Amino acid sequence: MLHISDNLKFLRSKRNLSQQAASEGMKFGLDQYKKYEYGKNTPPAESLLVISRFYHISIDLLLTVDLRKVSIDDLVKLEDNRIVLPITVDDNGDNMIEVVTHKAKAGYAAGGYADFSFISELDHIYLPWLNKNEKHRVFPVDGDSMPPHNNKSSIIGRYVEKLGDVLDGRTYIIITKNNEMVYKRLNNNGKNMFVLNSDNSLYNSYEIKFSDIAEIWEYAGSLEREHFKPETYDMNNLAMVIKKIERDMGEIKAKIA
């Protein structure tokens, strides 16, 4: 469900603007604007960009969040005062760190990241060593693709505002528009896509388009619930070594050929 028509009415009323004043401010014709506000037409991309800049709110929130039910003061404000990310704050207005559990993971990946009600119901913690001027959130890890982290690990992520700030070779939590949450090591392939690599060589790399990413969080630390065991050369480790050798040999043969 899109909330653009209700949000247009709400934002206009907050500024005490008439429909005429709002349409003139955004350089829309009055009839054109009324069709957007009455829900007869959905604004195209160019018009959404104008509305977003006029009210200093992200297009994503204009479309997907009922702003009548959200305290705009409890959202992260980015450059040009654009609003993009729901957060929770304490009684003093200090930013809290929301904890996404395994139980809440599916709901978060399915779009809860843009739902203030969902975010406000998550558990939260304080970590004094993190930069208070940055936004952090905690995410659960699945599987063994990123050792030594496993199902009992949680990654502390720092919110990345721009995909251009992603650095090759570092690890990130990615939430996709296809309801997927993954923790991987990233590299930019120069084709508007990231290559997602696992530190466990048994897992193959794969690519994801920039346009498929809903949120991205850079590794800022981890919370562990079990002791890490010393490295041993058991059969699993041996299989990993053999597979890596085979892959390296294949790459060498390909280059020679």
What distance in Å separates the CA atoms of residue 244 and residue 242, rounded to the nearest whole number?
5
- Residues, the chain: 257
What was the pLDDT predicted at 81?
Answer: 55
Sign of the torsion formed by the C-alpha atoms of 147, 151, 87 and 193:
positive
Dihedral pair phi/psi, residue 37, rounded to 5°: -70, -35
How many other CB atoms are there within 10 angstroms of residue 186's CB atom?
21
Report how far residue 121's alpha carbon sits from residue 199's, in angstroms, rounded to the nearest whole number.
33
What per-residue confidence (pLDDT) applies to 194? 94
Residues of the chain with pLDDT under 70: 71-84, 93, 231-241, 257
Are the C-beta atoms of residues 153 and 223 closer than 8 Å to each other? Answer: yes
Pick from 120, 8, 21, 19: nearest CA to 68: 8
Residue 212 CA to residue 177 CA, distance in Å, equals 5
Q: How far apart are CA 14 and CA 185, in angstroms?
A: 43
Predicted confidence at residue 72, as pLDDT, reads: 67
User: Under a CB-based contact definition with an 8 Å cutoff, are residues 37 and 19 in contact?
Assistant: yes
Q: List the beta bridge partners of residue 82.
A: none
**Alpha carbon distance 74, 183 (integer Å):** 27
Mean pLDDT for all residues in the chain = 86
Instruction: Pick the closest to residue 174 from 136, 119, 212 (CA basis).
Output: 212
- Tens digit of pLDDT for each residue in 102-135? 999 999 999 888 777 788 889 999 898 998 888 9
CB contact at 8 A, 231 and 237:
yes
State CA 199 to chain mean position distance: 22
C-alpha neighbours within 13 Å on the C-beta side of residue 215: 26
Encoded tokens for 247: 């892959």
